[in-house]
Amino acid sequence: MKICIVSDSHDHREPFAAAAAEAKALGAEAMLHCGDLVAPSTLHAVLDIGLPIHLIHGNNTGDLFHLQRFAHERPDRIFYYGQDRSLELGKRRIFMVHYPHYAKAMAVTGDYDLVCNGHEHRAVIERITNVRGGTTLRIDPGTVGGVSAPATYALGDLATLEFEIRPVPR
């Protein structure tokens, strides 16, 4: 299963939609948004693309009441979890959170195959040694909104855990 990972859209609808559309065209079946969506209405830019969106909030929370309501109205498309989330997709254990220090700590537990975060506004793909003697993949896709850094997202395959950072198409 291919997935698209984004973060820090900060209401920048056009690059958010461009990343989602390209990811879908390249075979993505779901999107993870690692926080700082801000306004729930930003999701209108990607709804018609058809990817289910798994979403947490970040430090720029925006209107959480309406975000929860918006997700409730689209239970087949938007999955809003609050501050963080542990979930399973493509037979992989995934943890999502906005903050990198929290993500690194969760990666060290060895409980997850993939830990995703945002907040840094710079893309990172790294393997973190965990307490079980293996490694856990941590990905920060950068800022899909292009906020004080180039607009990027991550695309990869959960079957192989191979991911790449991609520039958002213009």
Measured on CA atoms in the order 35, 37, 38, 40, is the torsion positive or negative? negative
Structural domain of residue 145, as residue ranges? 2-167
How many other C-beta atoms are found inside a 10 Å radius of the C-beta of residue 164?
Answer: 11
List the pLDDT tens digit at each of the 170 positions of the chain: 999 999 999 999 999 999 999 999 999 999 999 999 999 899 999 999 999 999 999 998 888 888 999 899 999 999 999 999 999 999 999 999 999 999 999 999 999 999 999 999 999 999 999 999 999 999 999 999 999 999 999 999 999 999 999 999 98
Tell me the Cα Rg of the chain. 14
The tally of domains found in the chain comes to: 1
Output the DSSP codes for the chain: -EEEEE---TT-HHHHHHHHHHHHHTTEEEEEE-S---SGGGGHHHHTT---EEE---SS---HHHHHHHHHH-TTTEEE-SSEEEEEETTEEEEEES-HHHHHHHHHTT--SEEE--SSSSEEEEEEE-TTSSEEEEEEE-BTT-SSS-BEEEEEETTTTEEEEEEPP-
77/48 Cα distance (integer angstroms): 10
| pTM for the whole structure | 0.96
- CATH number, domain of 114, equals 3.60.21.10
**Token pair 């991550």: residue:** 154
37/33 Cα distance (integer angstroms): 8
